[in-house]
Amino acid sequence: MKDPVNLNFYHVSTGRRVSSSIFDRFVTGGDPIGVWRYQDGYVFQPAIAPVPEVRDLQYQLRPGGKFLVSGKVEPRGIEESLAWMRVRFDGGPWYRVANPVSGTVFGLPDGMHLIDAQGEDSRGRLGTVVARGWVETDRILPSVGPIAIVSYSPGSIHATVRSSGGIRGVLDVRLGGATRVYDNVNPTKTGYVVDIAGLTAGTAYEFRFRIRDDAGNERAGAGW
């Protein structure tokens, strides 16, 4: 019996949990191999599942309407045939991910897309189709306006930037060829505000504001 919450295995008649040394390698189903074994009062027989299965399917958004798909494929069969992952989008054709751990980058038109994945091996065995869910691709750059310094005091400034379509902004301040990055900016309904201290009176500084969205698309505003 399997606990659906903690994923532990219990003996049905006694309620005793199977020892962790078994649980770490405990699988259900598949073709039995080897001899029956005995441990901690339990009798069990090793088994090999019949088809390769995808585990830990993940994706990461990338700029320009792209995303990285990665995961883990558990090979099947005692012959350890070469296994890989294949994916499809919106029910379309399948694409092979040769190295599931490092993943493969795909590009799709902007919008919501459904990702499915499946294990496959060199013997032609196919695993269960795993639905990862929806991913929203985005290649539209966020907008960013000019920097407006609304107040100044010796050694510090308070500035605002109008922007939209982004989730993170940074302010680059350049002096004598060296650039300092300020990411302690605060979002507002119309953009961002930022306070900078430690400036030297009478010194000329160059400013540039960059805005980034959740897909990694970045745009720099007016500056150097």
The 10s digit of each residue's pLDDT in 87-115 is 999 999 999 997 888 999 999 999 999 99
**pLDDT score recorded for residue 223:** 74
Cβ neighbours, 10 Å, residue 170:
18
Are 53-137 and 143-220 in the same CATH fold? yes
- What's the pLDDT band for 198 if we cut at 50, 70, 90? confident
53-137 folds as Immunoglobulin-like (2.60.40)
Superfamily of domain 143-220: Immunoglobulins (2.60.40.10)
Name the 3-class secondary structure at 10: strand
- 43-52, 92-101, 132-141, 207-216: least confidently modelled range: 43-52
Name the 3-class secondary structure at 135: strand
Q: Whole-angstrom Cα distance, residue 84 to residue 105?
A: 15
- What's the pLDDT band for 175 if we cut at 50, 70, 90? confident
84 closest CA partner among 132, 121, 130 = 121
Residue 92 contacts residue 53 (beta carbons within 8 Å): no
**pLDDT score recorded for residue 56:** 84
- 46-55, 85-94, 121-130, 206-215: least confidently modelled range: 46-55
Average pLDDT of the chain, as a whole number: 82
Which two tokens mark 183?
């990411």
Per-residue pLDDT, averaged over 159-187, amounts to: 88
- What's the pLDDT band for 21 if we cut at 50, 70, 90? very low
Q: What angle do CA 57, 60, 63 make, to 5 degrees?
A: 155
Q: Position of tokens 């680059």?
A: 172
Q: Write down the domain spans for the chain.
A: 1-48, 53-137, 143-220
Which two tokens mark 89?
């989008």
Residue 139 contacts residue 219 (beta carbons within 8 Å): no
- Residue with the bigger pLDDT between 7 and 151: it is 151
Q: Whole-angstrom Cα distance, residue 129 to residue 192?
A: 44
